[in-house]
């Protein structure tokens, strides 16, 4: 006899309390293996795939794509411990169960049950919560079981399949629910597309998420429809028919009202047009990455008394040095070094001279905490919004190593595969907003850090060089710092050292 287990949204770490469903990786009726990813969720830190610790048949999904769920909410239910008949193939007899139901309605909740760990122990699950953690067994190939094989009807091999309800969650306080086998019945008749049926409290026989979405967009109550598919399955044609019927009913209601409003003897063309309503403002929820950025920036502005200083620097020599490094051949050749990698190496050298800026403030203890190592964050704009990947132990790396790590993290950011650990723990941030074609900015400190260096675009400008006016490659550097950790003299000294290294890269040789 099969048991239906609830798989709840696990604690994803880093203090995260909720996640948004981005994409379901399984459908109702799919056979999943232990630790197989079943859903892709987006947290305030990153986008991750969540594996299911149970192996069995997916009987229900809770939440549509785009739904935000708190940690501990039910994601899906899985029928485990089913007989071997689930894996047989061949035609089967259709049963009366509601296993054809698709994903559970958005916002539906399930009564609380025992923790996922206890359910894992009883079912042989792994306890895995994120891809890359826990057991390392490869995920089995996904197989789909037709919903009509979850009704307890014998298959050709004589084994019994299992009926697994898809719309009703397990009873409160019960971690598992035994599902008895059901006897087969004759298939019901077929109804005309879009016909109306009495409202039912049972499961809605809809498999396709597209059909559900179409009904939701047109305010069609699926429980009032009688499906024309097998066993009353609601098809798209049924929803289209209901939409047309609703439009005709609405048009019939408005025609008498328009006729009464028109003056006697006046032609339709002479009737005054009805003023159109003003378009409603668009409301965009602050959640996911956008919400996390908003919270962090607001907290930074609220808690940190920041100040900004800036300076223009002649980057002609730095660009020449970079060109020479990348043009080197033979034994001295190596990977290409980016301007951002050179600026990052300059930052680590400057922080070694001015450690006050590599610190944080413990407001409860009223202490400044100077950090022993430099974990350098760099701002990266992606399709999902602004993220700040962190180069660990940047103070121990050279320009080539920093550049390779920046390239690796940037690629992960673009594909949305950065883990929460790769987005946290920074001690200082480098922001290259020059890629957007702007010269200067006043960066907002990445809380709880103490400073951020901003770099504008490098472009030809008139510059006095060796007593003569010349065209040089000029960049504007800006430093925003927490005035609690240091005074203007320290911040000015840091920024001046960075500018000196940009103008005369040979200054770095002293720290190599």
Task: Judge whether 483 counts as a catalytic residue.
Answer: yes
The tokens 């193939």 sit on which residue?
89
User: Kind and range of the H or E element at 74?
Assistant: strand 74-80
- Omega within 30 of 0 (cis) for the link into 448: yes
Q: Of 218, 395, 447, 483, which one is the catalytic site residue?
A: 483
Which tokens in the block code for residue 103?
Answer: 């994903």
CA angle, 341 as apex, 442 and 295 as ends, to 5°? Answer: 40
How far is residue 125's CA from residue 127's CA, in Å, rounded to a whole number? 6
Cα–Cα distance measured from residue 176 to residue 6, given in angstroms and rounded to the nearest whole number: 8
**CA 238/CA 220 separation, integer angstroms:** 11
DSSP notation for 172-220: TT-SEEEE------PPP----TTEE----SS------HHHHHHHHHTT-
Burial 38-63 (b: 16+ CB within 10 A, else e): bbbbbbbbbbbbbbbbbbbbbbbbbb
Q: Where are the alpha helices (DSSP H) in 179-313?
A: 209-217, 236-261, 288-303
What sections of 328-455 are H helices per DSSP? 339-353, 399-414
Looking at the DSSP bridge assignments, the partners of residue 390 are 377
List the catalytic residues: 483
């Amino acid at each position: 006899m099969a048991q239906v287990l609830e798989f709840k949204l696990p604690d994803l770490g880093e203090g995260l309390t909720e996640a948004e469903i981005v994409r379901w990786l399984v459908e109702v009726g799919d056979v999943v293996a232990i630790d197989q990813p079943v859903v892709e969720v987006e947290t305030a830190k990153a986008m991750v795939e969540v594996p299911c610790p149970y192996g069995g048949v997916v009987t229900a999904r809770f939440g549509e794509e785009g739904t935000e769920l708190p940690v501990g909410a039910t994601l899906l239910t899985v029928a485990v411990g089913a007989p071997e008949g689930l894996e047989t193939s061949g035609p089967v007899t259709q049963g009366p169960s509601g296993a054809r139901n698709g994903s559970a309605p958005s916002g539906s909740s399930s009564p609380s049950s025992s923790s996922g760990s206890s359910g894992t122990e009883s079912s042989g699950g792994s306890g895995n919560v994120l891809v890359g953690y826990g057991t390392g067994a490869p995920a089995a190939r996904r197989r789909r079981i037709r919903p009509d094989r979850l009704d307890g009807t014998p298959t050709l091999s004589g084994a019994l399949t299992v009926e697994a309800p898809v719309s009703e969650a397990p009873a409160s306080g019960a971690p598992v629910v035994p599902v008895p086998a059901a006897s087969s019945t004759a298939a019901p008749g077929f109804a005309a597309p879009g016909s109306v049926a009495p409202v039912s409290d049972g499961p809605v026989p809809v498999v396709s998420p597209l059909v559900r979405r179409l009904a939701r967009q047109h305010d069609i109550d699926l429980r009032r429809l009688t499906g024309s598919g097998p066993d009353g399955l609601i098809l798209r044609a049924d929803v289209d028919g209901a939409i047309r019927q609703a439009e005709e009913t609405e048009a019939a209601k408005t025609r008498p009202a328009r006729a009464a409003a028109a003056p006697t003897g006046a032609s339709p063309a002479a009737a005054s047009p009805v003023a159109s309503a003003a378009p409603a403002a668009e409301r965009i929820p602050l959640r996911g990455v956008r919400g996390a950025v908003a919270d962090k920036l607001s907290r930074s502005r609220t808690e940190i008394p920041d100040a900004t200083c800036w300076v223009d620097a002649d980057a002609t020599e730095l660009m020449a040095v970079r060109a020479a490094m990348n043009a080197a051949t033979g034994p001295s050749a190596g990977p290409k070094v980016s301007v951002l990698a050179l600026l990052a190496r300059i930052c680590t050298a400057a922080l070694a001279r001015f450690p006050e800026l590599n610190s944080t403030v413990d407001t409860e203890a009223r202490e400044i905490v100077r950090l022993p190592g430099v974990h350098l964050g760099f701002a990266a704009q992606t399709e999902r919004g602004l993220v700040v990947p962190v180069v660990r132990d940047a103070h121990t790396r050279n320009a080539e190593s920093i550049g390779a790590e920046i390239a690796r993290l940037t690629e992960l950011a673009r594909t949305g595969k950065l883990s929460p650990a790769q987005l946290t723990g920074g001690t200082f941030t480098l922001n290259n907003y020059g890629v957007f074609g702007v010269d200067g900015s006043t960066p907002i400190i990445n809380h709880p850090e103490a400073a951020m260096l901003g770099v504008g675009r490098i472009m030809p400008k008139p510059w006095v060089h060796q007593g003569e006016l010349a065209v040089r490659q000029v960049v504007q550097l800006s430093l925003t710092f927490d005035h609690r950790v240091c005074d203007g003299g320290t911040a000015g000294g840091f920024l001046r050292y960075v500018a000196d290294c940009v103008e005369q890269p040979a200054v770095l040789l002293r720290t190599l």
